[in-house]
Structure 1
Amino acid sequence: MSVQHLIAVAVIGPGSGRLGANLAAAVALIGLVLGGLALARSAGRIGSGSGRRGAIVALVAGLFGIALAGLHLATNTGDFGTGSGRAGAIVALAVGLVGLVLGGLTLARSRHAG
């Protein structure tokens, strides 16, 4: 094995393209779950309170997930089916957008209620 081959394996690595997409999807999914819980809390289904704090966290997590997915798509050179994580980043964009919408709905509801 040559030095160039070892460097290429260390830099590229197996599945390294999926890491950014998986991280973006995980952060976006956290935003989606927190947005759903905050919306349920503001509707009075679980707990008490307006869910405002959860809505803000959902907005931040959704936005951060969207930013990570966008960064991954901008820096990714692979195509679909190559293991570069392009499809995962697109899914993370959609999930982050839903989390963002749920957080925004909850904030709008908490403003009208209080």
Structure 2
Amino acid sequence: MSASAVLAAAAEGGIIGDGRTGANLALGVGVLGLVVGRLALARAGGRIGVGNARVGGMSAIVVGTVGTVLAVLHAATSGGGPGTGNGLVGAVVAIPLGLGAVLLGRRVLTRCRRADR
């Protein structure tokens, strides 16, 4: 199975489940990206001494990008409008969550670069 087929199946909710499954997956990945980005930002600021802030920032960027892609795919493939039970509203909410995780990861990498100088 190709990567595009896997992403399309995940965005549509997979084989099992209703239309909201893909949106819930995108929401979960977006929130996970925000949590990873926030922890990495705390590491970069010196408030948490465990782990590497640069790796956390890169992880937040990757997870946020995956969440955003899943949300956009689900929003593009969901039938009907808001309130029909297809998860369109969840996908629309997941897009800024994923983008927020990407921005947090970028902020962490910027702080790490400044600290290295």
Taking structure 2 as the reference length, what is the TM-score of the superposition? Answer: 0.82
Q: Deviations over 1:83-107 (max 9, x none)?
A: 1100100111011111111000000
Code of the residue aligned with 2:107 in structure 1: it is: L
Pick from 35, 38, 41 the counterpart of residue 39 of structure 1. 41
RMSD across aligned C-alpha pairs, in angstroms? 1.8
- In structure 2, the residue matched to 1:108 is 110
Unmatched tracts of structure 2, length 5 or more: 1-14
Percent pairwise identity: 51
Code of the residue aligned with 2:23 in structure 1: it is: A
What is the deviation of 1:113?
0.8
**Aligned pairs, number:** 102
- In structure 2, the residue matched to 1:61 is 63
What is the deviation of 1:69?
0.2
Compared CA separation, residues 65 and 31, structure 1 to 2 (3 A): same
- In structure 1, the residue matched to 2:31 is 29
Code of the residue aligned with 1:20 in structure 2: it is: G
Pick from 12, 16, 19 the counterpart of residue 18 of structure 2. 16
Unmatched tracts of structure 1, length 5 or more: 1-12
Pick from 61, 83, 86 the counterpart of residue 84 of structure 1. 86
Superposed structure 1 runs of 4+ greater than 4 Å apart: none
Q: Deviations over 1:15-46 (max 9, x none)?
A: 61100000011111111000000001100111
Taking structure 1 as the reference length, what is the TM-score of the superposition? Answer: 0.84
What is the deviation of 1:108?
0.7
